[in-house]
């Protein structure tokens, strides 16, 4: 899952080497939180107009997690 988010984010930004994904331990309900860090200049590209790209990233990650029987959340830091 971490690799999927990293690959998606690197495809969106101008500085792919600055993309860092951190994974938290699963919470009590089994949800794994991924923290996405990108360069300050690329923050707008990852969020998108009115948050559409960020929402799409979350939807793709949630769909992939559901397919694997997992629960995930994505936070853009």
User: Which domains are delineated in the chain?
Assistant: 2-76 (3.30.300.20)
Q: What is the pLDDT of residue 77?
A: 87
CB 9 within 8 A of CB 17: no
Average the pLDDT over 60-76 and give the result.
94
Q: Are 46 and 12 in contact (CB under 8 A)?
A: yes
Task: Report helix, strand and coil shares of the chain as percent, to nearest 5.
Answer: 55, 20, 25
pLDDT classification of 61: cutoffs 50, 70, 90? very high
Please count the residues of the chain. 77
Q: Region 56-63: what's the mean pLDDT?
A: 95
Average pLDDT over residues 68-74: 93
Whether pLDDT at 18 is above 90: yes
The percentage of the chain sitting over the pLDDT mark of 90, rounded to a whole number, equals: 94
When pLDDT is averaged across residues 41-46 and rounded to a whole number, the result is 94
Average pLDDT over residues 32-39: 95
Q: What is the 3-state secondary structure (H, E, C) of 4-20?
A: HHHHHHHHHCCCHHHCE
């Amino acid at each position: 899952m971490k690799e999927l988010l990293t690959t998606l984010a690197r495809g969106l930004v101008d500085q792919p080497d600055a993309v860092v994904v951190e994974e938290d331990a699963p919470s009590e309900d089994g949800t794994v939180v991924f923290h996405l860090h990108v360069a300050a200049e690329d923050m707008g590209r990852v969020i998108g107009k009115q948050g559409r790209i960020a929402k799409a990233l979350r939807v793709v990650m949630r769909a992939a997690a559901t397919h694997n029987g997992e629960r995930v959340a994505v936070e853009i830091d």
